[in-house]
Structure 1
Amino acid sequence: MKKVLLQGRDICKSFAQNGETIPILNKVNMEVYEGDFTVIMGASGAGKSTLLYALSGMDSITSGEIEYRGKRISGLTEKEMARIRAKEFGFVFQQTHLVSNLTLFENIVVAGYVGGGRPRDVQQRASELLSRMHVDGAKDRLPSQTSGGEAQRAAIARAMIQGPGLIFADEPTGALNKSNSEEVLNLLSTLNSDGQSLLMVTHDVRAAIRGNRILYLEDGKILDEFTLPVYSAADARQRETQTTQWLSSLRW
């Protein structure tokens, strides 16, 4: 039986606009299991990114509970939540958010220092991750001197520097061309096959099929879910067909 890594119970998120309360998330109940590659899909405006940020503690919730490894994290102070994010969570966004005046290597080691790692250990792990992400040849370049794919792969290395329990990815291939997207998705699939847990938001079916579990969000609620075997490139076309058919049944 799979172990629950992250759990949300009755998560609600709303904001006030012109005297009205606008709901974004409406009593979302979901689990992320250890070792899974979980994907969140849905139409634009469904609340996908809002849910991701809420689960990671980057955004507050209006009501409900969120637990990580069986401990409640919703309601923690920002300082307490920041410690958890630094130690337990890795983040990959559509835009890399790399520091422009630091090299790729420096961007990664700085993230390692934030978690209190020893300089020698952090630098060694950063070098290993850059090699693993196939971007070690660009480690001394500034982000502006690299391709979009190289920068995103460096961002994944940065997300991995603390050995996180869970990586949150928000449209990680949204700003990349097809070849760079495939490289990034291949890396994420490899990380997952090595045991890394991932939670990814995407609108791209080719990205979604990398997951083994896809949740469909509509109007702030989980409408349905679709499960797949662990990703295999040999089955990619079949996975895409099956996933597209499932999405079509939901009027996606």
Structure 2
Amino acid sequence: MADTILQGEKITKIFHQGKAEAKVLDGIDIKIYEKDFTVIMGPSGAGKSTLLYSLSGMDQINGGHVLYRGREISSLSEKQMARLRAEEFGFVFQQTHLVSNLTLLENVLVAGYVGKKDSAEKVRERAKNLLQQMDVEEAKDRLPAQVSGGEAQRAAIARAMIGRPGLLFADEPTGALNQANTREVLGLLTDLNREGQSILMVTHDLRAASRGNRILYLEDGKVCDELSLEPYNEMEEKQREREVSQWLSGLRW
């Protein structure tokens, strides 16, 4: 069994609307393992993104504990949590959230300077290498509005990786992309995981979920089932998707 990189204990998240309250996360226990590609699935409104944000410290929880590499992080101050996210976590969302008046390269550089792990020269070198790895090097001097959605998302992945994160969080990273760009982005995430990158991804897409080696199913604020798979193999893609589909059908997804 791989080492636990992130752990949630009895995580509870409640949203209030006037006098009414909704318990979105209901005492969830969850472990994310080092070098795994873990996927969270479930029906709409199950709390998938809320769980992701709660584990990453972007949302405050109402009860329970979150530990990163054995360290309690759910009680950190806002400043301490921001520092931890900058130094240890990477984030990729459905929308790229690239700064519109900065080039792709500048967007990646800004994120690298925030982490302050390397010198400015090393950050620039790593940013260029990442953009090359993400196959958007030729577009590095363009603004986000001047590139395709797929190119923008690949640049966003480069931005997320610039600080060498211990854990990469991805929330519906292909949700706004066409089929061709979806495949490219999933290929990049798969390659990163093969290189040892730990990934936690929320998705509603069967093909995206099939890239993971562990899929957790969230429903009614609880993790109610999970599926373990071998590392992704392109040669067995269709068989893998059928296996995931059958598992989801059994859960009435």
Calculate the TM-score normalised by the size of structure 2.
0.99
Cα displacement string for residues 154-201 of structure 1 (whole angstroms, at most 9, x for unaligned residues) = 000000000000000000000000000000000000000000000000
Tell me the residue number matched to 1:169. 170
Tell me the residue number matched to 1:82. 82
Pair 1:100 & 2:100 matched: yes
3-state DSSP of counterpart to 1:203: coil
3-state DSSP of counterpart to 1:96: coil
Tell me the residue number matched to 1:246. 247
Taking the aligned partners of 2:108 and 2:19, their CA distance within structure 1 comes to: 44
Tell me the residue number matched to 1:46. 46
Q: What amino acid is aligned across from residue 217 of structure 2 in structure 1?
A: Y
Tell me the residue number matched to 1:206. 207
3-state DSSP of counterpart to 1:237: helix
Taking the aligned partners of 2:206 and 2:22, their CA distance within structure 1 comes to: 29
Taking the aligned partners of 1:18 and 1:57, their CA distance within structure 2 comes to: 25
Taking the aligned partners of 1:66 and 1:191, their CA distance within structure 2 comes to: 25
Give 5+ residue unaligned stretches, structure 1. Answer: none
Tell me the residue number matched to 1:219. 220
Worse-superposed segment, 108-117 or 185-194? 108-117
3-state DSSP of counterpart to 1:31: strand
Taking the aligned partners of 1:40 and 1:30, their CA distance within structure 2 comes to: 11
CA displacement at 1:115 relative to structure 2: 1.1
CA displacement at 1:19 relative to structure 2: 0.9
Taking the aligned partners of 1:17 and 1:70, their CA distance within structure 2 comes to: 34
Tell me the residue number matched to 2:2. 2
CA displacement at 1:20 relative to structure 2: 2.1
Cα displacement string for residues 5-53 of structure 1 (whole angstroms, at most 9, x for unaligned residues) = 0000000000222312210000111100000000000000000000000
3-state DSSP of counterpart to 2:107: helix
Counting aligned pairs with the same residue, the percent is 64
Give the length in aligned residue pairs.
252
Taking the aligned partners of 1:16 and 1:129, their CA distance within structure 2 comes to: 42
Taking the aligned partners of 1:143 and 1:15, their CA distance within structure 2 comes to: 34
Cα displacement string for residues 33-75 of structure 1 (whole angstroms, at most 9, x for unaligned residues) = 0000000000000000000000000000000000000000001
Tell me the residue number matched to 1:232. 233
Taking the aligned partners of 2:68 and 2:180, their CA distance within structure 1 comes to: 35
Taking the aligned partners of 1:75 and 1:24, their CA distance within structure 2 comes to: 20
Cα displacement string for residues 202-251 of structure 1 (whole angstroms, at most 9, x for unaligned residues) = 00000000000000000110010001100011111011000000000001
Give 5+ residue unaligned stretches, structure 2. Answer: none
Q: What amino acid is aligned across from residue 111 of structure 2 in structure 1?
A: A
Q: What amino acid is aligned across from residue 55 of structure 1 in structure 2?
A: L
Worse-superposed segment, 193-202 or 110-119? 110-119
Runs of 4+ in structure 1 deviating by more than 3 angstroms, as ranges, are: none
Tell me the residue number matched to 2:125. 124
Taking the aligned partners of 1:159 and 1:18, their CA distance within structure 2 comes to: 37
3-state DSSP of counterpart to 1:226: strand
Pair 1:55 & 2:60 matched: no
